[in-house]
């Protein structure tokens, strides 16, 4: 009996050790690691090209913005190389920039189709445009990410670069999915907020498209979809939280938009299984600074690609940017 008990203890110890040595690092890496899609990866893959929905377009010139500039610059803290397109306004002297921030497993090519809205509605007369490849995307360096935590650093660093290089001080941030969480984190995370204030940089509006609305709840849903046991998720989230010095616990729209009531437009679909709309609606409920537009049945960041919603989507964006 004693031998059986000892063997049982040994087996349990091995199982626990396996969880912490193999399982937890693997589940954490599912959050922080994902494939970096370069521009060539997209252009050379017909399925990926169709998913990005840019047809034969390869740069802003294909949308009528021939005077764009490609810019190389570094991240705010860790010296990674970033790259993006700067499109100057069609009017001289414009000091407002609309920055369009892609999401996870993406790059700026996926947001390029929204240049149609800017061209069709003449929004380039009101704004300069910047479209970055954030870390681990496109022409920028490979790196781990933390559900928008590091994206926020890249977005803040990009605004500082645009101020220094192009004399831009006023911004509207238009973010998709994790890029939406990165956008709003950039104006709320204390160290980043301090840098913006010190440099006189202002964010006047936010557009959050299919946004990651609550990091912990969204990851919990994803874990259940993958049949990851609850206790494994709880340990994983605590490990992941340490990567951001615990700040990931604050990364939810209800928190950010109450602290910093920036005028915000939220665009979302009820068919979104990646950033579930139920979590989003709970996060933005009762916030007077938020305008929301719901698209029945539309999936994650695919609203504008659907013929029945394309015109409505464009009109809502145009109206908000002109307010």
pLDDT score recorded for residue 22: 56
Per the structure, the count of domains in the chain is: 2
When pLDDT is cut at 50, 70 and 90, the band that residue 245 belongs to is confident
User: Does residue 68 sit in the same domain as residue 190?
Assistant: yes
Domain contains 71: yes
Quick one: 9 and 144 in the same domain? Answer: no
The proportion of the chain whose per-residue pLDDT surpasses 90, expressed as a percent, equals 86
Nearest Cα neighbor of 175 from 116, 131, 121 is: 131
**pTM here?**
0.95
299 and 311 inside one domain: yes
**Is 150 found in the same domain as 8?**
no
246 is a domain residue? no
Q: Is the pLDDT of residue 204 over 90?
A: yes
Average pLDDT along the chain:
93
Q: Is residue 276 part of a domain?
A: yes
How would DSSP label each residue in 78-107? Answer: S--EEEEEEE--SSTT--EEEEEE--TT--
DSSP type of residue 179 = H
Burial class of residue 221 in the structure, from the number of CB atoms within 10 Å of its CB (0-12 exposed, 13-18 middle, 19+ buried): middle
**What gap in Å lies between CA 223 and CA 225, rounded to an integer?**
5
Question: Is residue 257 assigned to a domain?
Answer: yes
Instruction: For residues 127 and 5, state if they share a domain.
Output: no
User: How far apart, in Å, are the Cα atoms of 41 and each of 45, 56, 57, 85, 102?
Assistant: 6, 15, 15, 18, 16
pLDDT range class, residue 2, cuts 50, 70, 90: low
Does residue 262 fall inside a structural domain? yes
Residue 67, domain member (yes or no): yes
Residue 31 banded pLDDT, cuts 50, 70, 90: confident
Query: What's the domain range around 28?
Result: 1-32+215-241
57 lies in the same domain as 45: yes
Give pLDDT, residue 251: 97
Cβ atoms 145, 104 nearer than 8 A? yes
| CATH code assigned at 50 | 3.40.50.1820
Q: How many whole angstroms separate alpha carbon 148 and alpha carbon 151?
A: 5
Same domain for 51 and 146, yes or no, is yes
Residues 308 and 195 in one domain: yes
């Amino acid at each position: 009996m004693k031998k059986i008990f000892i063997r049982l203890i040994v087996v349990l110890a091995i199982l626990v050790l396996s969880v912490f040595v193999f399982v937890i690092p693997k589940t954490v890496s599912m959050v922080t690691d994902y494939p970096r899609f370069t521009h060539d990866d997209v252009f050379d893959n017909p399925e990926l090209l169709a998913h990005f929905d840019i047809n034969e377009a390869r740069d802003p010139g294909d949308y009528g913005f021939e005077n764009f500039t490609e810019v190389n610059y570094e991240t705010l803290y860790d010296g990674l190389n970033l790259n993006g397109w700067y499109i100057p306004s069609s009017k001289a002297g414009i000091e407002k920039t609309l920055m369009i921030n892609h999401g996870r497993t993406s790059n700026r090519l996926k947001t390029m189709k929204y240049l149609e809205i800017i061209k069709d509605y003449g929004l380039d007369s009101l704004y300069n445009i910047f479209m970055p490849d954030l870390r681990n995307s496109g022409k920028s360096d490979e790196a781990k990410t933390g559900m928008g935590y590091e994206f926020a650093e890249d977005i803040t660093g990009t605004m500082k670069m645009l101020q220094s290089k192009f004399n831009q001080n006023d911004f509207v941030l238009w973010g998709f999915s994790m890029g939406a969480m990165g956008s709003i984190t950039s104006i709320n995370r204390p160290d980043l907020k301090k840098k913006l204030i010190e440099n006189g940089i202002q964010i006047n509006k936010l557009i959050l498209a299919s946004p990651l609305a609550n990091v912990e709840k969204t990851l919990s849903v994803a874990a259940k979809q993958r049949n990851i046991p609850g206790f494994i998720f709880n340990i994983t989230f605590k490990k992941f939280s340490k990567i951001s010095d615990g700040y990931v616990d604050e990364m939810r729209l209800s928190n950010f938009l109450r602290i910093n009531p920036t005028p915000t437009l939220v665009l979302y679909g009820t068919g979104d299984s990646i950033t579930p709309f139920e979590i989003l609606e709970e996060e933005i409920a009762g916030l007077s600074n938020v305008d929301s537009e719901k698209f029945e049945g539309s999936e994650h960041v695919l609203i504008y690609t659907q013929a029945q919603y394309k015109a409505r989507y464009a009109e809502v964006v145009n109206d908000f940017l002109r307010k």
